[in-house]
Amino acid sequence: MASSHASELNPPDNITPSIGTTINGILILLPLTLILVGLFSGVINP
């Protein structure tokens, strides 16, 4: 049963990221990019 849990955490068949992980990645990267752009624009144009 422990092996099934491991396979659930790391499915060998699902190599491509699912839609949920893609949305999570976008939600995590979007604010970071906005903050970085804001910092860089603030440094370039104070």
Give pLDDT, residue 11.
Answer: 55
How much is the CA Rg of the chain, to the nearest whole Å? 18
Residue 35 lies in a domain: yes
Share of the chain above pLDDT 90, in %: 24
- Number of domains making up the chain: 1
Task: Domain of residue 41: give its range.
Answer: 17-46
Q: Is the pTM of this model over 0.75?
A: no
Are 27 and 19 in contact, with CB atoms under 8 Å apart?
no
Give pLDDT, residue 31.
Answer: 93
Residue 25 lies in a domain: yes
Give pLDDT, residue 4.
Answer: 47
Q: Is the pLDDT of residue 21 over 80?
A: yes
Give pLDDT, residue 1.
Answer: 43
Tally of helices (H runs) and strands (E runs) in the chain: 2, 0
CA distance 9 to 27: 22
CA distance 8 to 13: 10
Q: Is the pLDDT of residue 29 over 70?
A: yes
Residue 7 lies in a domain: no
